[in-house]
Amino acid sequence: MTAFKEHLSKHDIKPSVQRLKIYEYLHNSHNHPTADDIYRALAPSTPTLSKTTVYNTMKLFISNGVATVLNIEGNELRYDADTSTHGHFKCKGCGNVYDFRIARAPEFNGVEGFRIDKYEINLKGYCNVCKPKL
């Protein structure tokens, strides 16, 4: 908890109890939760928590660089405390979102000389558990 506190403070986020709980949950869950998932997981132990607080906290986390948002779903935002460069694989069978490392940045043709601030690699398909059941 102290490490999380320092991490948030370092990114200009006042580490309130609710923010700490949300960050801790996001950091410890590797399933890229939605705001709903976060709310449902924390509400029983945090009666004062509202969905709006979760949304606003996530907005703050993203703009201050302690979380990222995934655009892998059409209308559903999923969050990630892992802000390092990595790709996501969404399984169409179980719905899990898997992280994968990108060994080498791909070559981009057509944007030579541009400044690229961000790139995302989102893959979709079936994981090793779901593929055999097709």
> Dmax over Cα atoms in the chain, in whole Å?
52
Pairing of strands 97-101, 86-91: antiparallel
**With respect to Zn ion, which residue has the nearer C-beta, 17 or 94?**
94
Element (H, E) at 91: strand 86-91
3-state per-residue secondary structure call for 26-87: HHHCCCCCEHHHHHHHHHHHCCCCCHHHHHHHHHHHHHCCCCEEECCCCCCCEEECCCCCEE
Binding-site member from 52, 56, 93, 121 for Zn ion (CB under 5 A): 93
Find the binding residues for Zn ion in span 115-134 (CB under 5 A). 127, 130
Q: Does 66 bind Zn ion (CB under 5 A)?
A: no
**With respect to Zn ion, which residue has the nearer C-beta, 54 or 80?**
80
**With respect to Zn ion, which residue has the nearer C-beta, 6 or 99?**
99
- Provide the 8-state DSSP code for 113: T
Binding-site member from 1, 17, 94, 121 for Zn ion (CB under 5 A): 94
Interface with Zn ion: number of residues (CB under 5 A):
8
Nearest approach in angstroms of CB 129 to Zn ion is 5
Token pair of 25 as six digits: 């949950």
Q: Does 80 bind Zn ion (CB under 5 A)?
A: yes
Nearest approach in angstroms of CB 121 to Zn ion is 11
